[in-house]
Amino acid sequence: MLRDGAQLRPDDFVTFLAAQPDLSPTAWPRYLGIDADLPTTATNKILKRALTAAGTSAEGGVLWARRTRGTAYGQLTVSP
């Protein structure tokens, strides 16, 4: 989830991950989803089970994927 007007490019995210000295590229997230909002409870806790149930669908947002052993992210497209 990004702030209003903010943008995130895959290259910026890779630069951020590469700058983390204690994070190996094998530990980088395989999928990166950007949505307008996250599912939350009445007390504003993130509903992780709802995110898990959504899986790797780009429904309602943008989904990027990283190839196994790769360091570049590419946007996934959803076929009708």
How many structural domains are present in the chain? 1
Please list the ranges in the chain whose pLDDT falls under 70.
1, 58, 60, 77-80
List, for residues 30-42, the tens digit of each pLDDT value: 988 877 788 899 9
Domain presence at residue 1: no
Domain that includes residue 17, residue range: 10-76
Domain presence at residue 46: yes
> What is the DSSP pairing of strand 61-66 with strand 73-75?
antiparallel
Determine contact, residues 50/78, Cβ cutoff 8 Å: no
Domain presence at residue 52: yes
